[in-house]
Amino acid sequence: MQSIGSFTFDADIGELRDNFGKPVRLRAQSLQVLSVLLSRRGEMVSKSELMEAVWPETHVTDDSLVQCISEIRKVLGPANSRLLKTIPKKGYMLAPAELRRASLEERLGMLPGKPWVAVLTLALAVLFLWATWFLSEPVSRQVKTVAVLPFVNMSGDGEQDYFSTGLAEDLLTDLSKINALTVLSRSATFHSRSPEESAKDMATSLGASHLVDGSVRREGDRLRISVQLVDAQTGASLWAERYDRELGDLFVIQDDVRSQIITALAVRLVPGEADRIASGNTVKVSAYDLLLKGRHEETALTREGVTRAISFYKQAIAADPEYGDAYARLANMYDFAARFGWNDAGVIDRKLALTTAETAVRVAPQNPFAHWTLGRILARQQDGDPEMLSRALGSVSRAIELDPKNADAYAFISLLHIGSGRPAEAKRTIETAFRLNPEAPSWYVQNRGIISFMDGDMTAAVSDFERAAEKNPTASFTRLWLAAAYAQADRGEDAEWQLEEAAALGAPTTIRDAISTNPIFQDAGYRSKYEEGLRRAGLAE
């Protein structure tokens, strides 16, 4: 049995399984490709070698292999798919195995049958804290950089992954609103970790001063949640708690966890922050649970995932008709479905996206995500209308007013600025986004690459597009931008390779369609630069 991130592959029967041992569906050829890559893990395997191994004495085109690679990446998901690397002009490589991250309960010795370990660990932690408090010299105040790790699902049911992950994501989001803290992004912290890796080692690799870790066990409506805050420099636990409650108490638990962490970090909130981070949650827990399911489904942004997410968000709204977050999430999914042409009624999806986003702002006028969503959808539907562009800029600016540390809003408004021919503003806002979120997700990096591309700096553009593709290998539009940048940098073969990958991932196959799916670029000069790059890469008119 061989591991691929949180998945395992049984070579004897040719079967891929998730982290709970559940078989994952893959076509026979894709399983064979995966098997070959696993047999030579850590090595580059050329296209010709893979073609010969999987399709011996059979005439097939490179497209068949690229389709298999794309299918494997989609099944593995954004985090695990990074392990499958493209080596331009050569082939593919599966990165060396990574061990799974142990749960908090395992590391604290809290699993049944190990009570003495928990007692010993607690005693040592108390002794260590006492020694640190009385013997250490006063330390200067430092900027606190917090890494929230994904909570481990202890339910024994992979279907519950959405719940543990969602709780950690929301805690990360809440803490990131505090000015005195720098909170690392989800893309920086939500990955596998070896059980032997200490908190101090992980913090060093992440550049964090503190770690928040946890685990969740859910059985019906009963919750068992364990959370701890660790001083990464010393490895000492500054605060730890276990909650054994009913699902209906979930918001109370979340409020207490957030409050205890803020207290343990000795953070002084500035005026307005307490109100901004307080949940004041009037949402029904059942609706929130459905929202978490939808968020989990939409992560990979595949057609199937978006379709399921739409269903969950509709159910959440039915359970709570005033749920602003659910409306905003639903609006985003309609927008993606329209953008990628996943439904026959694309025009209807566009209208639904806009009206649903407007509803989100109406029912939740103080929700920055709702304003960010409306601005994003207005920008994609502006079709050269300066009034809609003005509304889009206003909505995203309002999101920033409501949440001054909203890195996503800064990253997106940078794209609006470059698309409108304002490079100076684009550079300023993307730099702010990276300052607020140094370990940025792939789309930040892509946006910065677009700004460099339009500025004529192809070296910087190629570097960012390559990095964005590495962060999210299933993002088809990143591949198109990378192909255009390679072509403008006189790297024609690399450009052709990226066009193949983009097509396999479902990207537009003509320049006209690629431009129509990027309506933000209304500046004629900048739009022509993108067209020329795609043309030189070999994309059809």
pLDDT tens-digit readout, 475-533: 888 999 999 999 999 998 889 888 888 888 778 889 888 888 777 777 888 888 999 99
Asked if residue 188 and residue 271 are part of one domain, the reply reads yes
Residues 120 and 28 both lie in one domain: no
pLDDT at res. 378 = 93
Residue 155 and residue 90 share a domain = no
**Which pLDDT belongs to residue 264?**
92
Q: Is residue 209 part of a domain?
A: yes
The per-residue pLDDT for range 415-441, each reduced to its tens digit, is 999 988 889 999 999 999 998 887 788
Q: Looking at the structure, tell me whether residues 177 and 90 fall in a common domain.
A: no
Instruction: Indicate whether 30 and 172 sit together in one domain.
Output: no
pLDDT of residue 358 exceeding 90: yes
CATH of the domain at 125: 3.40.50.10070
- The distance in angstroms from the start CA to the end CA of the chain is 47
- Same domain, yes or no: 116 and 253: yes
In this predicted structure, what is the pLDDT of residue 79? 62
Tell me the per-residue pLDDT of 238-250, one tens digit each, with 9 for 90 and over: 999 999 999 999 9
116-171 pLDDT, tens digit each:
444 444 444 444 444 444 444 333 345 688 989 888 889 888 888 899 999 999 99
Query: Does 73 share its domain with 198?
Result: no
Last residue of a domain, one of 229, 259, 277: 277
Range of the domain at 8: 2-94
Kindly state the tokens that stand for 292. 């978490």
Same domain as 89, residue 111:
no
Q: Compute the half-sphere exposure of residue 390: CA atoms within 13 Å on the CB side of its CA.
A: 3
Q: Which residue in this structure is represented by tokens 């431009």?
A: 515
202 and 150 within one domain: yes
Residue 397, domain member (yes or no): no
Least confident range of 25-39, 67-81, 340-354, 359-373: 67-81
CA angle 369, 367, 265 (to 5 degrees): 85
Q: Provide the domain count of the chain.
A: 3
Q: Does residue 208 fall inside a structural domain?
A: yes
Q: What is the CATH number of the domain that holds 44?
A: 1.10.10.10
CATH of the domain at 519: 1.25.40.10
Mean pLDDT computed over 324-335: 95
Phi, psi of 23 (to 5 degrees): -60, 140
Structural domain ending residue among the three candidates 68, 94, 120? 94
Is residue 63, in this structure, part of any structural domain at all?
A: yes
**Domain contains 272:** yes
Do 79 and 227 fall within a single domain?
no
Q: Assess whether 118 and 67 both reside in one domain.
A: no
Mean pLDDT of the residues in the chain = 82
| Euclidean distance between CA atoms 358 and 375, whole angstroms | 10
Residue 344, domain member (yes or no): no
pLDDT tens digit string along 393-417? Answer: 999 999 999 988 889 999 999 999 9
How many Cβ atoms from other residues are within 10 Å of residue 111's Cβ?
A: 13
Min mean pLDDT across 97-111, 212-226, 254-268 is at 97-111
pLDDT tens digits, 272-298: 767 667 655 678 999 999 999 999 998
Residue 37 pLDDT grade (very low, low, confident, very high; cuts 50, 70, 90): confident
pLDDT at 102 over 70: no
Shared-domain flag, residues 114 and 219: yes
Residue 83 near residue 4, CB atoms below 8 Å: yes
Could you tell me if residue 146 is inside a domain? yes
| The pLDDT of residue 114 | 43
Asked whether residue 304 is assigned to any structural domain, the reply reads no
User: What CA–CA distance (Å, rounded) separates 332 from 318?
Assistant: 18
Instruction: Identify the domain boundary among 277, 302, 336.
Output: 277
For residue 158, give both structure tokens: 């992979």
